[in-house]
Structure 1
Amino acid sequence: MRQHTALVIGGGIGGLTAALALDRRGWSVTVLERAAALEPVGAGVGLAPNAQRALDTLGAGDGLRALAPAQTAAELRLPGGRRLARLDQAAAVRRYGGPVVVAHRAEVVALLAGRLPQGAVRTAAAATLADPGDARPDGRPARVRVQGAAGDEEFTADLVVAADGIHSAVRRALFPQHPAPRYAGFTAWRLVAPAPDRPFAAHETWGPGGVWGTQPLHDGRVYAYATAAVPPGGRAPDGERAELLRRFGSWHHPIPDLLAAVDPAAVLRNDVYTAAAAPPAFHRGRVALLGDAVHPMTPNLGQGGCQAIEDAVVLAHLAAPEADLAAALTVYTRQRLPRTMDVVRRAGRIGRLTTWRSRPARALRAMDGIADWRPPTGTYASGTRGTTSAAQPKEHE
C-alpha cells in the first residue's frame, strides 16, 4: 500500500504537534521550518488542561507535566500588592481537571520534536505553497516549493498543514480576500530572568492600562510577561527593559527585582494581533490551516498554543491516510472554526478589560468551556497507531 505523505509548514508548537499526531496516524511526515535550527529561543508558554489532554493522546502529556514548577496557587493583584483573588491548584483540578503548566517554549518544542522520527524536521527550509491541490479521490497532489541550503526544490504531498504563524503566507495564498489580522490595541513584552532572592507567589497584576504576570519555571528561573495599550510598531529608544522599568518598575515585588536582573537583550517585544474576522474555512484543496495561521488571538486566556494543539489532534483524528480527505477537511473546518473563533472573541474581551484604566471587575471563570475540552477518542488516542476508526471527535463547548 502506498504511504501517504504530509508536509507541515512551520516548526512551532502547533506544527510539531500536527507532525507527531499525523505520524502516529500512519502518515509519512516532513516538517519544513524556515529558521536555521530549532533553537532555544522565545520565552514561556502556558498549556491548560485541554492542551495537556490532547498531548496525552500522543504520549507527550506526562513529559509536559514534568516541566511544571512546584507551586500551589496563583494570585490576581493590584500594582501596590493588594491581592484581589487567589486560585489554588486544587480548585483548578476540580474545575478543569488540572492546572495550567507554564514551561519555557523551547522545552516544549524539544519535547515534541524529540518524539518525531529521525530526519522528520528540515530546518533552513523556507516553504511556499505553489498549488493547494485537489482533495477529491484521485485529485492532484498539493505542491510546495522549498528554498534551502541545497537550492530550490519542489515537493508534492497528499496533505499540507500550514502552521506558519500570525502573518501566514499560506493563508494569504488560499484566501487572498480575507482580511489580515488586526492590531489588538496593545503590545506584549516577555522575558525569562533569574529568580529573585526573596520568595514570591505566581501572580497576574492589573494596573491602569497594563498587566504584569510572573510565573516560576521548573528550573528555578522566572517567566514574566507584560502588556500595555500603546500604538503599534513602537520601540523604546533606550531599550525595552528601560521601557518596562518606566511602566512597571514601581509595582510590587518581585517585579523590580526581575527587571534589575534580566539581560536587556533578553526582553522580547511584540505587537499583539487577533483575527479580524472568521475565515471562510480552515482548509482549501489538500491544505489545512491551524493555530495562529488561521485563528490568531490575544494571549489573555493563554490559549494560542492550546488551540493549535487541539487543531492538530482533531485534524489527525479525522484525516486517516486512507480516508476521504475532502470530507475529513470539511469536518475539520466544521468542528474547529466555531470553537476557536469563540475563544478568539473571549480572549479579546479580556484583552479589552486589561487596557481599561480601572480595576479588574471580572475574568474569573473565563476558562469554562475551554480548559475542560476533551480530545477525540476511539482512534490513535487509545494507543493504536494507524487506526482508521470513523468515530468523530466531540467538541465540548
Structure 2
Amino acid sequence: MEIVEDVVIVGAGIAGLGTALGLHRLGLRSLVLEASDGLRVTGFALTMWSNAWKALDALGVRVALRRKHLLVDGAVLSSSVTGSTLSQISYQGKGKYGNRETRCVKRNVLLETLAEELPQGTIRFCSKVSSIAEDGYLKVVHLADGSIVKTKALIGCDGVNSVVAKWLRLANLVSSGRTSIRGMAEYRKPHDFSSVCLRLISNIYIDEDIQKGASKMKQFVFDNLGEVPQQVVEVVEKTDLHNILSSPLRLRWPWNVIWGENCKGNVCVAGDALHPMTPDLGQGGCSALENSVVLAKCIAEALSEGTQSINSKYEEGEYGRIKRGLEKFVKERKWRGFALVATAYVLGMTQQSNGTVMKFVRDKLLSAYLAGLIPKMADYDCGNLN
C-alpha cells in the first residue's frame, strides 16, 4: 500500500503530537507515524515550566491541563548526606516573559490531551519506520508492514534513538557517566505534602547489576536515602515496583546541536531527536513543546505560499520553500538547544560530583546559583502560531 501526505511526522511523543497539533491549528494536515500500538507513556510524570505553558497556550491546550495539575510554589535544595538545607528558591513571581508557572504533569495526560485535539486519523499506530529513501524531491518512508508513505516534508520526532536522525547522520549520543532511577508513588487519598519541591543532592554509584530488577533498584534507593525527611521514606515505600525504571543518562554534545546537519532538504528532527539532554533542568519535554510551535509555524509559512497537490509536479520552488522553512527552524532553535543541553550537563555533573573541593564549593558557594539556573532557563517564550 502506498499513500501520499504533505507532512509526515515520525513519533507520537510530545514533540510529534505538538507539531501535528500546531499544524492543525494553522489549517494543515499531517500524518504521525508511531511504532507502538498506542501512545507511549514511559516516564510517568514531568515538570512543566513557564516556557512549556506558553507553548501549550499557543497550541490551545493550556487550560485543559491546568485544571488537572497543581502549582509548584518553589524548591528546597538539601544534602542527603548531612540533611542540611543548602538553598531555597521560589518558582513564583514575574520573569522576563511574564508570570512564572510551574506544575508537575502526568505524561500520559499530556499526550492524551494533545492527541484528543487532533483530527481522527492523524496518528497511525503500529507504523515502525524501517528505512527512508528519495524519489526526486519527495521522501519515501518504508514501514515494517510493507506500507510506503511519500511526503513533501519529513519530520523526525522519534526520540533519542531516532531513525530520522540516523538518516541525517547526526552525531551519536554519548554517555554522561550517570544513571537515573525514577519512580512514581500514587496517592489515592489526600496527603499533607506542601507545594514546595524537595531536591536532594547525593553522590551515589549505581552498579549495573542493580539495574536488572525493580526490587533491587527500590532497595538500593532505600539503602542510600541518607538524612532525609520521613515523608521521603514513605514515598519510596509507597512506590510500586511497576512504577520504577532505570536508564543511562545520555546526550548529544551541545556543539553538535550547533554544527550538526540537523536538517537536509525537506527533512529535519525536533525534540529529543534534535537535542537529547540529561534531565537535570527538567527541560526535555518543555523544549520539545517549544520546538513544536516554532516548527509548525515554519512549515506552515513554507506550505502556505502557493501550496499545490502532491500528485502534481513537485516543483523546485516549493521544495526550496520547505527547505528554507526547516533551515529557519534549525537556525532559530540551535542556540536555545545548545544552552539547554550544556547547562543541564554541567548542572548534573556539579550536583553529583564526588570531589572534596567541588562538594565544598557546590554546597557552600554555588547551591543558590545552581538552584536558580532552573527557573532562569525556563523564563523563555517561543512565540505564538500567528
Q: TM-score, normalised by structure 1?
A: 0.80
What CA distance in whole angstroms lies between the structure 2 residues aligned with 1:234 and 1:132?
Answer: 45
Once the two structures are superposed, the pairs formed by residues 127-206 of structure 1 within 5 Å of their partners are 127-131=129-133, 140-147=137-144, 151-175=145-169, 178-195=170-187, 199-200=193-194, 202-206=196-200
Cα-to-partner distance string for 1:178-216 (whole Å, 9 max, x where unaligned): 43111112111222213496545533333331xxxxxxx
Higher relative contact order (CA 8 A, sep 6+): 2
Q: Matched residues, percent identical?
A: 24
Which residue identity lines up with residue 119 of structure 1 in the other structure? G
For residue 269 of structure 2, the aligned residue among 283, 289, 310 is 289
What's the counterpart of residue 211 of structure 2? 235
What's the counterpart of residue 313 of structure 1? 293
What's the counterpart of residue 363 of structure 1? 370
What's the counterpart of residue 20 of structure 2? 19
Cα-to-partner distance string for 1:303-325 (whole Å, 9 max, x where unaligned): 11111111111111111223411
Which residue identity lines up with residue 182 of structure 2 in the other structure? R
What CA distance in whole angstroms lies between the structure 2 residues aligned with 1:39 and 1:183?
Answer: 23
User: CA separation of 1:233/1:315 partners in 2, compared to 1, >3 Å: closer, same or farther?
Assistant: farther
C-alpha contact 1:97 1:372 (8 A) present in aligned 2: no
User: CA separation of 1:207/1:346 partners in 2, compared to 1, >3 Å: closer, same or farther?
Assistant: closer
Confirm or deny that 1:247 pairs with 2:224. Answer: yes
Cα-to-partner distance string for 1:269-317 (whole Å, 9 max, x where unaligned): 1111111341423211211200111210111111111111111111111
Which residue identity lines up with residue 344 of structure 2 in the other structure? A
Cα-to-partner distance string for 1:113-152 (whole Å, 9 max, x where unaligned): 010001211111112341266xxxxx621111122xxx31
Greater alpha carbon shift after TM alignment, 61-70 vs 23-32? 61-70
For residue 373 of structure 1, the aligned residue among 368, 376, 380 is 380
What's the counterpart of residue 31 of structure 1? 32
Which residue identity lines up with residue 247 of structure 2 in the other structure? N
Instruction: Give the unaligned 5+ runs of structure 1.
Output: 134-138, 210-227, 383-397
Greater alpha carbon shift after TM alignment, 256-265 vs 199-208? 199-208
SS in 1 for 2:211: coil
C-alpha contact 1:67 1:101 (8 A) present in aligned 2: no
User: CA separation of 1:201/1:246 partners in 2, compared to 1, >3 Å: closer, same or farther?
Assistant: farther
What's the counterpart of residue 221 of structure 1? none
Which residue identity lines up with residue 145 of structure 1 in the other structure? H
SS in 2 for 1:366: helix
Structure number having the greater helix percentage: 2
What CA distance in whole angstroms lies between the structure 1 residues aligned with 2:208 and 2:331?
Answer: 33
User: CA separation of 1:179/1:31 partners in 2, compared to 1, >3 Å: closer, same or farther?
Assistant: same
What CA distance in whole angstroms lies between the structure 2 residues aligned with 1:45 and 1:368?
Answer: 15
What CA distance in whole angstroms lies between the structure 1 residues aligned with 2:43 and 2:344?
Answer: 22
Which residue identity lines up with residue 211 of structure 2 in the other structure? R
For residue 327 of structure 1, the aligned residue among 324, 348, 351 is 324
C-alpha contact 1:76 1:206 (8 A) present in aligned 2: yes
What CA distance in whole angstroms lies between the structure 1 residues aligned with 2:96 and 2:21?
Answer: 30
User: CA separation of 1:241/1:183 partners in 2, compared to 1, >3 Å: closer, same or farther?
Assistant: same
Once the two structures are superposed, the pairs formed by residues 71-82 of structure 1 within 5 Å of their partners are 71-79=72-80, 81-82=83-84
Confirm or deny that 1:110 pairs with 2:90. Answer: no
SS in 2 for 1:164: coil
Q: TM-score, normalised by structure 2?
A: 0.82
Greater alpha carbon shift after TM alignment, 308-317 vs 362-371? 362-371
C-alpha contact 1:296 1:304 (8 A) present in aligned 2: yes
What CA distance in whole angstroms lies between the structure 1 residues aligned with 2:92 and 2:74?
Answer: 9
Instruction: Please provide the CA RMSD for this pair.
Output: 2.6
SS in 2 for 1:35: coil
Instruction: Give the unaligned 5+ runs of structure 2.
Output: 306-320
What CA distance in whole angstroms lies between the structure 1 residues aligned with 2:331 and 2:40?
Answer: 35
C-alpha contact 1:52 1:64 (8 A) present in aligned 2: no
What CA distance in whole angstroms lies between the structure 1 residues aligned with 2:46 and 2:334?
Answer: 23
